[in-house]
Homo-oligomer: A and B are copies of this chain.
Amino acid sequence: MARSSALTQKEKDFISAGRVAHLATTDARGRPLVVPICYAFHGIDLYSSIDEKPKKVSPLLLERIRNIRENPYVSIVVDRYEEDWSRLAYVLIRGRARILTSGTRHKKAVVLLQRKYPQYREMAIDKRPIIHITLDRAKSWGVL
């Protein structure tokens, strides 16, 4: 395990290049939830928009947000799967999350997400909550 500040450039590049990551949150009873997420990576921060359907449900009620409000500890993995298992790679991150609904950092996250994902440029993610994750530590495998 390495401090996030000790992430190698290769690890940073691997995280930045990933298109989908997987986020685990846990509720107050200790029940985990894992979901695929799109994300932007900047410094030691990751940002992910709550953009999912169903639109009928307030996004603040989404389970991952409820979990983060109950328990800020999260785990994220960015990985590469190939049938040639000598090519398997991952960066596994532990950190703490909070929910942004407005403000300077929320605006910055929207810019980063829309820069990385053209798909977001058509979506009103500036009106939606964003999960902000600060890295505490990370480890990697096969990121060479």
Contacts and interface: CB of A to CB of B under 8 A. Distances in A.
A26 B94 CA distance: 12
Interface stretch (A8-16, A17-25, A42-50, A125-133): A17-25
A31 B81 contact: no
A26 B34 CA distance: 11
Interface residues of A, number: 32
Given A34-B34, A35-B92, A22 B77 contact: yes
A20 to B, nearest CB: 4
A34 B83 contact: no
Contact of A34 (B28, B77, B88): B77
15 contacts: A19-B81, A19-B83, A22-B77, A23-B34, A26-B26, A26-B32, A30-B71, A32-B32, A32-B73, A33-B92, A34-B34, A34-B75, A34-B76, A34-B77, A85-B119
